Structure 1
Amino acid sequence: MEQSATLDIEALKVTQFQFILASQSLHLQRPACDVSYPVGLYGWRKRSLYFFLLLLLATMIVNLALTVWIIKVMNLSMDGMGNLHLSRDGIRLEGISEFFLPLYVNEIQSRKDSTLALRSEKNVTLDVRNERGQLTSQLTVGPEAVEVQCQRLQIRNKDGDRALLTAGEDELLMTTEKFTVTGSEGAVFGHSVETPLIQARSSEDVKLESPTRTLTMEAPRGVEVSAAQGALKVSSRKDLQLESTEGEILLDASSIQLGGLPLGIYVLSPSQAARAHTIYEVCVCPSGKVYLSPAESSSTCQTMSNICLWS
């Protein structure tokens, strides 16, 4: 029994000795690890990284400061920018606004308590184009004139239910109750004028004149020329013709004077007839010419009709 125990102890010692030898052999075969490798950035790389981080931080601070300054100066808000306010109905501008490029809008409207003013150093031009981009109408307000280019120009009253002035390529139609010309030279018309009434003010005269051409007044139912409180004067350089195709010419006055009528004399000279006679009768030639003839107990027009030979 003691011999076996001794064997086991010897065997254990041998096994322990072998383990120690094996461990020492393994320790001798392990390579040496004396070299160390540093981890991280060092030297100029580290300094460059810190410089770029500082530069980025400074740029972010400057950008944030400029953004805050722009928001403060431009008065940016959730409703718009400064005098410009955005809403569901469109854009509202308050105060004076300047546009350096063309403005395209559907409607421009001012507030109810203020007027809408369009100002420009040169001119203000409003263009209307069709769906193809072609110019259909144009309104130009310049320093010397206001020009309108369109096919038809129409001016309506404040309610918009009645046209006051309609101008086209062929005619100009005015539907106002009264058209007043206050210029000292009156109104000049290059062609015919159609109107139911031409009337002057109560304290002024009305004058129809054609300096170089003829003056013609025509009406389908008659022409009436009257002077309620003054004299009526009709003068012509050449012929004055009163013609009625289906009616009569009526001169209704307390006295009618025909001045400058020629005197029809057959025997006596005009000077002798003027001294001998003070009463004359008015005679009419077949051509329509009117002349005077000395009045006697019977008509002398036939005797003094020699003046009709020269008419």
Structure 2
Amino acid sequence: DSPLVLQSDRNVTVNARNHMGQLTGQLTVGADAVEAQCKRFEVRASEDGRVLFSADEDEITIGAEKLKVTGTEGAVFGHSVETPHIRAEPSQDLRLESPTRSLIMEAPRGVQVSAAAGDFKATCRKELHLQSTEGEIFLNADTIRLGNLPTGSFSPSSPSSSHSRQTVYELCVCPNGKLYLSPAGVGSTCQSSSNICLWS
């Protein structure tokens, strides 16, 4: 029951050979690194012998229940990563970020984003495009607000109230699809020659 101690001033090397004397595996413990050369390297749990880590020429498998990366820069992958589920720690936010390029999510059968107990926000510096090539864009809510729409100029033939007291507006659409507001009147106040349409 006494331990076996191997000690060297430089390194300790353990070789495994077959019946013909050929080297089949090697483990070297040095001052700077521990190196293993073999067809397959495995790390197993002491309790049940379950494989916690295995590596060969084709793939690396991590069998632990959780892989935790504590470095400040996270994990860097040079190529694709396949996983059916990505989630954050409990009570922590999940952030997907591309600091210098684009972040693309693609799926042939659809992409679903839901927030069961919060808001969904999409912000950008330039244009925000919503495009459906064959279907429709469906907005379903009790209240739909379009903020910061420009107000077009309209001069009624017989003004009955000042513009400062105007509280109701008509939603107008330019020929190019741009939306703008126009003070509501008895009839439609939308004009195709509105300054909003001409300048857009």
TM-score, scaled relative to structure 2: 0.57
Compute the displacement of 1:237 (Å). 0.4
Which of 217, 240, 243 lines up with 2:128 in the alignment?
240
Name the residue aligned to 1:283.
Answer: 172
Paired amino acid for 1:128: C
Q: For residues 270-306 of structure 1, give each alpha carbon's deviation from its aligned partner in whole angstroms, at most 9, with x where no partner exists.
A: xx74x23212233344444333232334443335743
Name the residue aligned to 2:183.
Answer: 294
- Structure 2: runs of 5+ lacking an equivalent: 18-27, 42-54, 157-161
Which of 145, 148, 156 lines up with 1:257 in the alignment?
145
For the residues of structure 2 that align with 1:288 and 1:282, how far apart are their CA atoms? 12
For the residues of structure 2 that align with 1:187 and 1:282, how far apart are their CA atoms? 49
Higher helix share: 1
Compute the displacement of 1:185 (Å). 8.1
Name the residue aligned to 2:60.
Answer: 154
Paired amino acid for 2:140: D
Name the residue aligned to 1:128.
Answer: 38
Q: For residues 197-230 of structure 1, give each alpha carbon's deviation from its aligned partner in whole angstroms, at most 9, with x where no partner exists.
A: 6666674555555555455444333333322222
- For the 8 Å contact 1:266–1:303, the answer to whether it is kept is no
Q: Name the larger-Rg structure.
A: 1
Higher strand share: 2
Compute the displacement of 1:122 (Å). 1.5
- Structure 1: runs of 5+ lacking an equivalent: 1-82, 84-93, 107-117, 130-136, 139-148, 159-175
Name the residue aligned to 1:96.
Answer: 5
- For the 8 Å contact 2:6–2:12, the answer to whether it is kept is no
Larger relative contact order (Cα-Cα within 8 Å, sequence gap ≥ 6): 2
Paired amino acid for 1:295: A
Paired amino acid for 1:152: D
For the residues of structure 1 that align with 2:96 and 2:67, how far apart are their CA atoms? 16
Compute the displacement of 1:125 (Å). 1.1
